[in-house]
């Protein structure tokens, strides 16, 4: 199963890339990341062209990586700048790929395809992650499943009723509203629970337990698999700004066909100064995503094995519309790149 090349993948949280070498596989490509002395992020093929030892086993020397086996050095452009052997001549083939990288919204974005086609303005809007109006906590999860299974999970939030006790609602699964006027490169999956009592999550966040309100879960998807959930609760028929908003980012990046990187973050516009609440949200996120979603999705991956999900002709429900549309957008881009 190939992966889209000309797109921005979330490669890391900005805070993960330091003056140490970080190895990460993205869409089957082994890459070593680090930060230059000036602070920009570099991504090089994590394989020395001499005897193919991963470069992340070497060390950083200034802005170059010294291979840990025989000492060839590669700079941030991937060019070999030092051969400590013989007459020191640098063989023509001694170079590695340097990937096109952008850093935006506290995320390191990676472009696998042709660098000339990379346009930073096409990175989906995750400015909420660095917007000072919000306090954000973020985390990372490794999942033994294809990234599109995770995207399917997030585009059908009716599962919250069955998988997550914290999100369960006394009055049953949320109401799903199909998109009337879909955008060609964006998908929305809107779930709402109008005029209901808060679930355990909103009670924890401080919404009064006995006060009815409108609860929304509006998920936005952008290719290749970047999701932002506008989630909040406000008084019945009251403006969103009056209530609690806790937009949640889900950046999914394929590692291999059957494993994924899952970067998630919760940004809140209330009780921003409370460190205890930040800790509690991290704990809840781990309980929900790691302990509840992940086992379901990994079991699903084992059940479909290496088959492409749609080729197995799954039963389709009303709430599957957004996930199917997102898969079609990915498929269309893959086909366009293969032509
Ligand atoms: S394997 Fe890298 S220098 Fe030999
Ligand atoms: Fe979930």
pLDDT digits (tens, 9 = 90+) for 134-173: 999 999 999 999 999 999 999 999 999 999 999 998 888 8
- Nearest Cα neighbor of 130 from 162, 151, 106 is 106
Atom 4 of ligand 1, nearest CA residue:
70
Instruction: Tell me: pLDDT of 287 over 90.
Output: yes
Atom 3 of ligand 1, nearest CA residue:
70
CATH number at residue 36: 2.102.10.10
Pocket lining: 50 vs ligand 1, CB cutoff 6 Å: yes
Last residue of a domain, one of 71, 93, 122: 122
The two structure tokens encoding residue 101: 């990288």
Sequence-separated (6 or more) residues with CB below 8 Å from residue 255? 24, 25, 26, 27, 28, 142, 261
CA of 54 to the centre of ligand 1 (A): 9
**Cis before 224? omega within 30:** yes
How many structural domains are present in the chain? 2
In terms of residue numbers, what domain contains 229? 127-338
Question: pLDDT above 90 covers what percent of the chain?
Answer: 93
Pocket lining: 94 vs ligand 1, CB cutoff 6 Å: no
Q: Which residues partner with 161 through β-bridges?
A: none
Q: Which residues partner with 66 through β-bridges?
A: 59, 73
Distance CA 129, CA 246 (A): 11
Distance CA 233, CA 267 (A): 14
Query: Are 221 and 143 within one domain?
Result: yes
Query: Are 162 and 236 within one domain?
Result: yes
Helix %, strand %, coil % of the chain (to 5): 30, 30, 40
The per-residue pLDDT for 33 is 99
Whole-model pTM: value is 0.96
Query: Are 171 and 313 within one domain?
Result: yes
Return the ligand number nearest the Cα of 166.
2
Query: Are 117 and 132 within one domain?
Result: no
Pocket lining: 72 vs ligand 1, CB cutoff 6 Å: yes
Last residue of a domain, one of 87, 122, 157: 122
Nearest atom, ligand 1, residue 53 CA: 1
Nearest atom, ligand 1, residue 72 CA: 3
Nearest atom, ligand 1, residue 58 CA: 2
Query: Are 187 and 334 within one domain?
Result: yes
pLDDT digits (tens, 9 = 90+) for 211-257: 999 999 999 999 999 999 999 999 999 999 999 999 999 999 999 99
């Amino acid at each position: 199963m190939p992966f889209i090349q000309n797109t921005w993948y979330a490669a890391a949280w900005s805070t993960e890339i330091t003056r140490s070498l970080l190895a990460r596989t993205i869409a089957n490509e082994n890459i070593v990341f680090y930060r230059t002395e000036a602070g920009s992020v570099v991504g090089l093929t994590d394989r020395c062209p001499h005897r193919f030892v991963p470069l992340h086993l070497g060390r950083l020397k200034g802005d170059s990586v010294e291979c840990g086996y025989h000492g060839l050095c590669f700079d941030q452009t991937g060019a070999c700048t030092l051969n400590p052997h013989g007459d020191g001549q640098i063989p023509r083939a001694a170079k590695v790929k340097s990937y096109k990288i952008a850093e935006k919204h506290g995320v390191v974005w990676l472009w696998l395809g042709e660098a000339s086609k990379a346009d930073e303005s096409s990175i989906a809007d995750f400015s909420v992650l660095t917007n000072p109006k919000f306090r954000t906590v973020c985390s990372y999860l490794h999942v033994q499943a294809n990234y599109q299974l995770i995207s399917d999970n997030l585009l059908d939030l009716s599962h919250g009723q069955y998988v997550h006790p914290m999100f369960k609602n006394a009055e049953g699964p949320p109401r799903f509203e199909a998109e009337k006027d879909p955008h060609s490169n964006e998908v929305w999956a809107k779930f709402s629970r109008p005029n209901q009592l808060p679930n355990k999550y909103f009670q924890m966040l401080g919404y009064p337990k006995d006060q009815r309100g409108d609860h929304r879960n509006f998920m936005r998807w952008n290719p290749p698999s970047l999701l932002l959930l506008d989630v909040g609760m406000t008084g019945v028929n009251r403006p969103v700004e009056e209530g609690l908003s806790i937009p949640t980012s889900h950046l999914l990046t394929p590692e291999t066909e059957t494993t994924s990187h899952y970067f998630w973050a919760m940004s809140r516009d209330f009780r921003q100064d409370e460190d205890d609440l930040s800790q509690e949200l991290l704990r809840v996120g781990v309980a929900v995503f790691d302990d509840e979603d992940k086992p379901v999705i990994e079991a699903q991956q084992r059940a479909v094995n290496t088959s492409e999900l749609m080729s197995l002709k799954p039963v389709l429900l009303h709430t599957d519309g957004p996930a199917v549309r997102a898969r079609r957008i990915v498929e269309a881009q893959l086909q366009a790149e293969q032509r």
